[in-house]
A and B are shown apart, each in its own frame.
Chain A
Amino acid sequence: MMLTSRPEHLHHEPQPALPREVIMVSEHSDAAGDMSALALKILVAGGFGVGKTTLVGAVSEIRPLRTEELLSEAGQLVDDTDGVDQKVTTTVAMDFGRITIRSGLSLYLFGTPGQDRFWFLWDELSQGALGAVVLADTRRLEDCFPAVDYFEHRRIPFVVAVNCFAGARAYGAHDVSRALDLDRGTPVVLCDARDRDSGKEVLIRLVEYAGRMHTARLLDSVS
């Protein structure tokens, strides 16, 4: 059985305009704030049921919390609610966890909504994110295409973590990388989302990669 390849035409969709709020935040980002504590954000994306919440739960020091974002005006633009009262709101749940590195430095993990139509929520989530983990299941690799496209366009560092479900045929990291047509250097890690050590390894690979990407961009900008 062949892995589903990511179609070429998906690679270069037009980038939607940033929501107004996001622009406002960036304008204010140099405002004086409390600099004593630093929080970093890592996104966990992938298709429905691929194990995002499981991964967050495996590495988080707190039980994964759920928060809900109410989508009203923005939601109406994308929600296909033909014949449904315009006032109906959509609730999008996000799961998140926390890892305290030391006092004043913590890592927050957010499981992003599975539906790619909620891209505007991703924009807000990805604002200032250190990087992303794209969880993939080789039995339905196509489910992670939107996430791969998204982070490639936004130039957000990401690693692909293949959740090795029992009974799923094992593919090598290279096969997955080729099927996803990943840029050279984008790490592919085989993992077990239920296992804490495995999840830690995925995060370490991501932070290392984010550091390399950052250094490369700094060098680019001075040459």
Chain B
Amino acid sequence: MNMDSSTALAADAHLIKAIQSGDERALSQLYRLHWPMVSHFVLQNSGSEDDARDVYQEGVMVFYEKVREGSLELSCQIKTYLYAVCRRLWLKRLTNKSRLHGVRLLDDDDYGPYLNTGAEDDLQEAEERDRRFATMSEALTHLGEPCRSLLEGFYLLDKSMQDLTAEHGYTNADTAKTQKYKCLTRLKKLFFASYKEA
């Protein structure tokens, strides 16, 4: 048992290192490895296959972002961490859509002490970030064209200024740049207005 968990931890550490360096195959391996666990858990707790997929992708995203930032402090195995995150996420969705107030989940004992995994804090952080992204997405929609595609092209899709100049039909890169800064000031107003209000 001890040997098992220590080898598992070693394998986890290896996997995390690989994912942090941007290895897509490692992420894919991790994704496949823990999918049956989460899908089983959600299906067992009155969820559908689609619910399971949503919850799992959300959970993996939290994990992945923490790994990429290098701020993941893992005190347990990856599968326990993922189980805890997905469990929390699913509980939240269930409570939201359920008329019954007390929702009780059937747990798999194999994935053991899912509390104190640090998952709660990470999730809260992720939710805060989600809220920020939602506000940003809304602000971008309100911004209108051509500001939106200009900013999205530059910041979100990492296009070069030259490409964008050609795409939007500006006479030169400087005009495009000036336009971009103007758009940014407008976006700033929209974003901070609704973000602080929320």
Partners in one complex: no
